[in-house]
Amino acid sequence: MPRADLIVNLVKAGNEGDLKLFRSTVEAMAAEERAKRHHQLADKLIAGLNATTTRPRPIELMRGVDSGHGGLLFEIEPRRSYDSLILDTELRTSLIEVAEEQHRRDLLRSYGLEPRHRILLSGPPGNGKTSIAEAIATELMVPLFVVRYEAVIGSFLGETSGRLKRLFDYVRTRECVLFFDEFDTLGKERGDTHETGEIKRVVSSLLLQIDALPSHVVVVTATNHAELLDRAVWRRFQIRLTVPPPSLMQKEEWFSQFQVRIGLALGITPKALAKKLDIASFSELEQFCEDIYRRYVLTLPNAELKVIVVERLRQWQHRATAN
């Protein structure tokens, strides 16, 4: 049975003729039923909602690997959690609050409030924006849908806007995290004189679709070039977070965790290693550690981890100097 607050909203929408409230309430009911695996009931609710309009054709979803059918969304199974990420205090606190608001949205709604569900992540590449989206999905125990730009962006007038509408029609009836990587690809500044009128219309359509999403759909967008985003994009997002490169302390913590993960001492203290290695992203830290462990495995049973670490460190320092 639907929650009491949804039933009250449904009655209120009927009495006041509020079609927007009616639609969002039915969509929330469908999302909850789908989360309970009551797919048949969820489909009937959405079918009834769209009975007087043209039924959108089903969106094709690709799961796990690219099946080559041109789906608009790519679904991946989230594996990372908040605890697995090395985050500064402010960033971690904001993400914990997002999860708490979603988990306790019934309480918020009883006071006429909705949980925040639109998040904009900005910062240099390789520092965990995609991992954060995955961790949010893990914490909320919902699917993670990644938008495939090569399938969404069309070459003909109106094609992209139509595909965006199909995409949003699909996700709005599901509890999920919807992730736009490289969001500046779609959310470009409309005042840019080099952009066509079609791009400007796409941005306008995109912003309207994001505004209309119910709060059980958590939208996470990521950009490496915040300066390219349309000014109106910033206003749409209730939570705007900068994801910075790793600090010295975070590098040290990374190497400490790496030692625990492989069950071996590196032979050089994490603090000393963090100071010696000039790396500007978490992705490079991961590559460096994988480089060490790969060489260790390949030289077993005579592997000397400290020797390998010193050698890899020398190579990476030389690489940084060459660049």
Instruction: Quick: pLDDT tens for 79-110.
Output: 899 999 999 999 999 999 999 999 999 999 99
**Which residue in 297, 279, 296 sits closest to 288, CA to CA?**
279
**pTM confidence score:** 0.77
What is the C-alpha to C-alpha distance for residues 280 and 251, in angstroms, rounded to an integer? 10
Question: Dihedral angle at the C-alpha atoms of 301, 304, 310, 315, nearest 10 degrees?
Answer: -10
Q: What's the DSSP call for residue 65?
A: S
Distances (CA, A) of 196 to 157, 192, 199, 200, 274: 11, 9, 5, 7, 47
Q: Who contacts 299 (Cβ-Cβ below 8 Å, separation ≥6)?
A: 308
Question: Residue 37 and residue 86: Cα distance in Å, rounded?
Answer: 34
C-alpha torsion sign, points 296, 300, 306, 311:
negative
Band (pLDDT 50/70/90 cuts) for residue 64 is very low
Beta bridge partners, 222, equal: 121
- The C-alpha atoms of residue 263 and residue 266 are separated, in whole angstroms, by 10
Is the pLDDT assigned to residue 66 strictly greater than 50?
Answer: no
| CA dist 235 → 138, 194, 213, 231, 287 (Å) | 27, 23, 15, 7, 36
Cα dihedral 66, 67, 71, 76 sign: negative
Cross-strand bridge partners of residue 145: 75, 178
Query: Per-residue pLDDT for 199 more than 70?
Result: no
- In the sheet with 73-76, reading across from the earlier edge strand, the strands are 61-63, 73-76, 144-147, 176-180, 217-223, 118-122, 239-242
The mean per-residue pLDDT over the stretch 103-125 comes to 95
Average pLDDT in the chain: 85
* 304-321 confidence digits (pLDDT tens): 999 999 999 999 988 877
CB atoms within 10 A of CB 63: 12
